[in-house]
Amino acid sequence: MIKISPSVLASDFSKLGEEAVLMEKCGADYLHLDVMDGHFVPNISFGAPVIKAVRPLTKLVFDVHLMISEPLDYISDFVKAGADIITFHYESNSDVSETLDKIHASGCKAGISLKPGTPAEAVFPYLDKTDMVLVMTVEPGFGGQSFMFDMMDKIKKIKTEIVRRSLDVDIQVDGGINEETVSVAAEAGANVFVAGSAVFRADNPESVIDSLRNNATL
Ligand code: DX5
Ligand code: ZN
């Protein structure tokens, strides 16, 4: 099932609510919310209160990407703010199993994200209790970077393992996704596509979302 998840990191924060509503009108499936703590990544974005403020304005699935050092300590804040999917980094300081359990106990879906330097095999022990694996195709922290084509082998390895074990786990790809790279990522096995600059910097975001979806359809 293909899902398109525009990242608000590239949106106009002075009208974040309107941007969220626009994405829903344009046919997005999820809204990707990048939380950065200035510690796990060298950038600070926004936290749970901002997500909570936008929550009543749209029915979009809130796809929260935590780029923070201690995700376990903040899960309940993001659940209360209205997250639907919470993805945290394998490389964070929190225990992976415990964090997955806490997210699931709160009724949200849970994702594990891998930085470019982390091998596919890192998530294998957790695949049976994970709803989504996020393969970063840029170093996390900033929008507008170039897609790392050499991450496609990692996506293929994870996809092969998911199929081999007959699991139901989505593979999300984030960083440098545009109308061309989306096909490459889909071909490798990804089915959830985050796009920041490609959508929000476009004159016609609706047509970009349509193209992303069409070009991801194999
Ligand atoms: C980067 C973030 C991404 C970012 C993607 O650390 O996780 O979600 O917004 O931006 P683009 O699509 O511009 O690469
Ligand atoms: Zn992200």
Q: How many helices (H) and strands (E) does the chain have?
A: 8, 8
Q: How many angstroms separate the alpha carbon of residue 65 from the centre of ligand 2?
A: 5
- Any residues with Cβ below 6 Å from ligand 1, and which? 7, 9-10, 32, 34, 65, 138, 140-145, 174-177, 194-198
* % of the chain at pLDDT higher than 90: 100
218 has pLDDT over 90? no
Q: Which residue numbers are catalytic?
A: 34, 174
180-209 pLDDT per residue, tens: 999 999 999 999 999 999 999 999 999 999
Rg of the chain over all Cα atoms, to the nearest angstrom: 16
User: Taking the complete model, does pTM exceed 0.75, yes or no?
Assistant: yes
98-148 pLDDT per residue, tens: 999 999 999 999 999 999 999 999 999 999 999 999 999 999 999 999 999
CATH class, domain 3-217, is alpha beta
Q: How many angstroms separate the alpha carbon of residue 24 from the centre of ligand 1?
A: 19
- H/E run at residue 30: strand 30-36
Q: What is the dihedral of CA 3, 8, 9, 14, to 10 degrees?
A: 180
What's the CA gap between 81 and 54, in Å, rounded? 9
Q: Which atom of ligand 1 is nearest to the CA of 145?
A: 14
Partners of 194 in the β-ladder: 5, 174
What's the CA gap between 137 and 123, in Å, rounded? 16
Structural domain boundaries of the chain? 3-217
